[in-house]
Amino acid sequence: MPGVSICLWQLKKLIQDKDIDAVVTIGCVIQGSTKHDEIVIQHASRKIADLSLEYGKPVTLGISGPGMSRLDAHERVEYAKRAVEAAVKCSKC
């Protein structure tokens, strides 16, 4: 949970910088003993989309989850480069 909250705070700070064309969010939300991970990823992805639209800059979602174990997340590390590639492509539009 702390990682996602910090990610959103840092995202807003980065997206306000006029020298930054795009932002990539990378991370994972690991499932705990409750369904809290579903709420966390829903709110994070919504806020990321809102900030992208508000500031008119591409922000790609490279945060995996919900319902992931640590092993699942580790196996998907390579997927993060897709978010980077998408940000680069979008910033050229």
Question: Looking at residue 13, what is its pLDDT?
Answer: 92
- 24-60 pLDDT, tens per residue? 988 888 888 888 889 888 988 999 999 999 999 999 9
Rg, the chain, Cα only: 13
Please, are residues 31 and 66 in contact by the beta-carbon 8 Å criterion? Answer: yes
Residue 33 per-residue DSSP state: S
Which one of 13, 36, 46, 81 is the catalytic residue? 36
pTM over 0.85: no
Q: Is residue 74 flagged as an active site residue?
A: no
HSE, CB side, 13 Å, CA atoms: give it for residue 64. Answer: 18
Please, are residues 25 and 11 in contact by the beta-carbon 8 Å criterion? Answer: yes
d(CA 66, CA 38) in angstroms, rounded, equals: 5
| pLDDT band at 2; cut points 50, 70, 90 | low
| pLDDT band at 3; cut points 50, 70, 90 | low
